[in-house]
Structure 1
Amino acid sequence: MQRLERLSERALVVPIAAFLLLMPPLLTLFEGEGRFLGIPLLYLYLFGVWTLFIVVGRIAARRLLAGQQAAGRGTAVQPRER
């Protein structure tokens, strides 16, 4: 049970960290004429952070789902009776 709680707490950190990394004070660090392989640094930063948090979110979701199923609380939907 504690493992599942820790996983859910870690999963909560993902959107909070994404929010903080996409705040304007950090974005202004990448404004300007800087380029890498012809791509503006701001675009690389934005899409890099976005991609990173998609991957981290997917990993967290899979671990959380596996933990729930191991605890006997699977998320399978049962058909309703009519």
Structure 2
Amino acid sequence: MSRRSLELFLRQCVLLGATLVILIPAARGSSAWIGWLPLWLVGMPLAAWLSLLRLAKPQIAWALPRRRRPQARRQRVRRTAIPRPSARRA
């Protein structure tokens, strides 16, 4: 099955599932065997179609800078003295 025909098939599944959920009240319910029907009729084909189109991968990962070497990340931490209350009592 080519990519184009798979995309066409998934698009038709999404449209058919959405039509069923909108027009048939029983398709909005839940089944004891497979669970919530709108998930399987619309959600799963839509997720497969979007992953085929490569829209599901996050774009923010490409914008983030690369990590520096682990040795460069380790820096000495300067410790400052914590002021303690004086021991004198009046």
TM-score (norm 2): 0.32
Specify which structure has the higher proportion of helix.
1
Higher RCO by CA contacts (8 Å cutoff, separation 6 or greater):
1
Specify the structure having the higher radius of gyration (Cα): 2
TM-score (norm 1): 0.33
